[in-house]
Amino acid sequence: MTTTTTTTADAGTVFANLHARGRDLRLECQWIAPERADAPLIVFLHEGLGSVSMWKDWPTRVCDQANCRGLVYSRYGYGQSTARPLSEAWAPDFMHREAQEVLPALLEVLGVDARRDKPVLFGHSDGGSIALLYAAAYPDAVAGVVAAAPHLFVEDVSVASIAQARTAYLESDLRARLGRHHQDVDSAFWGWNDIWLNPEFRAWNIEDALERIACPVLAIQGVDDEYGTLEQVRAIGRRAPQTELLEIPDCGHSPHRDQPATVVQAVARFVGALEKPG
C-alpha cells in the first residue's frame, strides 16, 4: 500500500489522494471542528448508498455533543469521490478491503496516527460492518466502535429489502434523489445493489472476526430495521463481550435519522467513557 500526502481543498471539502484497491483514488473528505486539536476524533463511515452530503449535519451534532473532532468521507464509488467504473463489480470481500486497505491509507494521508491518536469509528449499515472489520484487523489503532445497524451476515430480510430498492431505483424518483449526492449515481447504486443480490454473497459472514476486537463497542439497531433482524447486533454481543447493545423502539434501519436525539446522546456518553489515547 503506497500513499501520497497531496490534498486539495474546494469549498470546505478536502480531497485526499491515495493508492489503494490497486488504483489511485481521490476521496471526498470533510473535517468537523478541527480546532479541537486535542479532542478525540470520530470517523464516520457511511451506509451502502451514503456519502458526505447524505449525513447532513448529524456528524456535527454528535461532535458538538461529545466535544470531539470529526472526519466524514465518501468511499470509493460514492459522493464526489472517484467513481467506480460500471464494468467493475464489487467482490464479496469489498468491505474487508475498505477496512483493511482504504481506511488505513486514508488516515495516513490525512496525517492521523491511528496507533497514537486512536480514533472512534461510527459506522452505519455497511459502514458499521467496515468499522468492525477495521477494529478486528487493527485492534491497537482504534479507541472504540459505534456500529449502527451493521451487517454480520446476509439475511432473507436484507435481500428482500435490497431487491425492493432495485425496483424503486428503476421505477420511482429514487435515482433522482440519490443523484443529488453522487457524481455518478448509477455507479454508486449498482455497485451496492448488485453485490448484495449476487448469490455468491449469501455466504458472506464476519462473525469470526469479531473475536479479535479489543476495544469497547456500542452496537445500535432499530427494532423495526427493514434490512436486518436484531440478531445482527446480538451476535456482536456474543462474540465481543465488551459490547453494549442499544435496541431502539420505533426505529428502522437508520437510527441516526429515525431517533437522532437518542443516538447522539448514546454516542456522546460512549465516547466520554473511553480511555484517552496514550
pLDDT in tens, 93-117: 999 999 999 999 999 999 999 999 9
Contact 201, 226 (CB under 8 A): no
Q: For residue 9, give every residue at least 6 positions away whose Cβ sits within 8 Å of its Cβ, in sequence order, or none.
A: 15
Q: What is the largest CA-CA distance in the chain?
A: 53
Instruction: Give the pLDDT of residue 6.
Output: 42
What's the first-to-final CA gap in the chain, in angstroms? 26
pLDDT band at 9 (very low <50, low <70, confident <90, very high): very low
Q: Residue 181 pLDDT > 50, yes or no?
A: yes
User: Residue 10: is its pLDDT beyond 50?
Assistant: no
Rg (CA), the chain: 17
Say how far apart CA 187 and CA 147 lie, in whole Å.
25
CATH homologous superfamily for the domain 3-272: Alpha/Beta hydrolase fold, catalytic domain (3.40.50.1820)
pLDDT band of residue 277 (cuts 50, 70, 90) is low
Note the pLDDT of residue 262.
97
pLDDT category at 12 given cuts 50, 70, 90 is low
The grid coordinates listed for 81 are: 469521490
Distance CA 122, CA 144 (A): 9
Q: Which amino acid is at 52?
A: V
Q: What is the mean pLDDT of residues 146-173?
A: 98
Residue pair 161/47 in contact (Cβ under 8 Å)? The answer is no
Classified as helix, coil or strand, 27 is strand
Angle subtended at Cα 236 by Cα 155 and Cα 274, rounded to the nearest 5 degrees: 140
Check residues 22 and 137 and name the one with the higher pLDDT. 137
Q: How many residues does the chain have?
A: 278
With a cut of 90, say whether residue 7 has pLDDT above it. Answer: no
Residue predicted with more confidence, 214 or 1: 214
- Are 192 and 166 in contact, with CB atoms under 8 Å apart? no
Cell numbers given for 75: 468511499
Q: Residue range 258-273: average pLDDT? A: 97
Buried b (16+ CB within 10 A) or exposed e, 18-43: bebbeeebbbbbbbbbeeeeebbbbb
Look at residue 8 and tell me whether its pLDDT is greater than 70: no
Confidence of residue 73 (pLDDT cuts 50, 70, 90): very high
What are the extents of the domains in the chain? 3-272
